[in-house]
A and B are shown apart, each in its own frame.
Chain A
Amino acid sequence: MTAPLDDTSILPLELTDVSFAAGGNRLIKDVTLRFEPGLKTVMIGPNGAGKSLFLRLCHGLLQPTQGSIRWQQETGADRHQAMVFQRPVMLRRSVAANIDYALKLRQISRRDRGDIIDRVLHQTGLRRLADQPARVLSIGEQQKLALARAWALEPQVLFLDEPTASLDPAAIHSVEEIIAAIHDAGTRIIMTTHDLGQARRIADEVLFINRGRILEAAPADRFFNAPENDLAQAFLRGELLW
């Protein structure tokens, strides 16, 4: 294991009255939330509800048009986060070199990089593919590589945007296992999905979002057994939301 840059946690993450508008439409509306360390949060909601936007705002890829998003430890906060996207973007180089590139950007020394790459490839079951060009891997393997690359950075927080959206059941299973392993290694998980089964399997805490508004934030047990919001109830019953 490599030593983290410093021992201070960047969490909790605090969102205060966060809104995001584009083209005159408010796509995220008045979100006030606090992400404590340690849990696995799963955000669910229908397509177009603003799940991906929300993650991008938290990760700093987008700036809120109103309100503030604050990490407890602001300096270097971006170095302690990683994100896995719905469609993995791999560079046109080998599997190992893709991870190496990410580590190089974080100025990890060459000697440490080799060990880290070995470890994460082993942990994600990709070791035999280390020298393959990343772009010829199946989409499931590419998503595992995206997880390996994120894991190599040893983030305190990992954002995942519908990481299994286009995968088959076997790949979904192994991606979920890897997410659990990353969490067990000490990383805070914040992810989106529209797969309710996956949300039940993974979540400690559920955020329900509809039309840019967080309508319910609750521990997973309570949310799935007795959701308070009527739209959340309808969503769990599989009804269309308007």
Chain B
Amino acid sequence: MTDFSDAFAAAIGLVLGLDTSLTEIVGLSLRVSLTAVAIAAFIGLPVGAAIALFRFPGRFFFVVATNALMGMPPVVVGLIVYLLLSRAGPFGVFGLLFTPTAMIVAQVLLVTPIIAALTRQVIEDLWIEYEEQMRSLGAGPGRAVPALLWDGRFTLITAILAGFGRASAEVGAVMIVGGNIDHVTRVMTTSIALEVSKGNLALALGLGMILLVLSASINAAAYLIQHNTKRWHA
């Protein structure tokens, strides 16, 4: 138990002292995950809405595929991206392996299906309520997409948060494609794994606390925005 309390005290010291290696790691983590979630939302929201509204051959396959891909293991995604980006792979010429960009690519692949699948569900439900009115006004599914995404915004925030939760918490994909290189691709989750294996529990615990606090504050902020604006819009 003393181990734990020592580690805890040391962790608080690191956090409060704004330890440089700590801030660097936290900064990179946020940069990678937020960028990945932004890109995934940019792709996943319209794709999810399109799957919800359009009837096309193979739609069933898309629905099942996005749902299935929601649960894709990060290490598998990491491995796929690793193969694609490695020197011998199709995108090897870009030299992206073991860079933050590679980590972003991997997280985009992880998060996009989550956002797309949840968006599909939200938009499908909205369309049930809106369809007749929208078609009466002259908006078929295609023209209705932006309005539906906007009207579903409060619920879609939750979809994006789910994506962010996935991106910020996963370790497998960023470990494989980033390589956990100090000052280059080391993020919170990979350094926690590393520091634990080195026995450096203080830093690991400090990082763990920050990860929890960051995740909690982003969720709290989103909830508050959602709560207040939702009340305003009934």
B233 touches A92 (CB 8 A): yes
Interface residues of A in 11-62 (CB under 8 A from B): 56, 59, 61
Q: Which chain B residues lie closer than 8 Å to A61 at the CB level?
A: 132, 135-136
B136 touches A91 (CB 8 A): no
Asked if B60 is at the interface of the complex by the 8 Å CB criterion, the answer is: no
Q: Which of B133, B143, B153 contacts A85 (CB 8 A)?
A: B133
Complex Cα–Cα for A85 and B134 (A):
12
Q: Which of A59, A89, A102 contacts B130 (CB 8 A)?
A: A89
Q: Which of A78, A92, A153 contacts B150 (CB 8 A)?
A: A92
Number of interface residues of A (CB under 8 A): 21
Q: Which chain A residues lie closer than 8 Å to B133 at the CB level?
A: 85, 89
Asked if B125 is at the interface of the complex by the 8 Å CB criterion, the answer is: no
Q: Which chain B residues lie closer than 8 Å to A79 at the CB level?
A: 138
Q: Which chain A residues lie closer than 8 Å to B137 at the CB level?
A: 82, 101-102, 105, 149, 153
Asked if B94 is at the interface of the complex by the 8 Å CB criterion, the answer is: no
Interface size class on chain B is 10 to 19
Complex Cα–Cα for A75 and B33 (A):
51
Q: Which chain A residues lie closer than 8 Å to B129 at the CB level?
A: 89
Q: Which chain B residues lie closer than 8 Å to A67 at the CB level?
A: none
B132 touches A105 (CB 8 A): no
B 129-168 binary contact with A (CB < 8 Å = 1; else 0): 1101101111100010001001101000000000000000
Complex: chain B residue closest to A56, CB-CB: B132
Q: Which chain A residues lie closer than 8 Å to B88 at the CB level?
A: none
Complex: chain B residue closest to A132, CB-CB: B232
Interface residues of A in 106-124 (CB under 8 A from B): 106
Q: Given A91-B147, A91-B151, check contact A59 B136 (CB 8 Å).
A: yes
Complex: chain B residue closest to A106, CB-CB: B138
Asked if A136 is at the interface of the complex by the 8 Å CB criterion, the answer is: yes
Least distance between B155 CB and chain A CB atoms (Å): 11
Q: Which chain B residues lie closer than 8 Å to A93 at the CB level?
A: 150-151, 233
Asked if A133 is at the interface of the complex by the 8 Å CB criterion, the answer is: yes
Q: Given A85-B133, A91-B151, A92-B151, check contact A105 B139 (CB 8 Å).
A: yes
Least distance between A157 CB and chain B CB atoms (Å): 12
A101 touches B147 (CB 8 A): yes
Which 4 residue pairs are nearest across A and B when measured between Cβ atoms? A135-B234, A89-B133, A136-B234, A83-B136
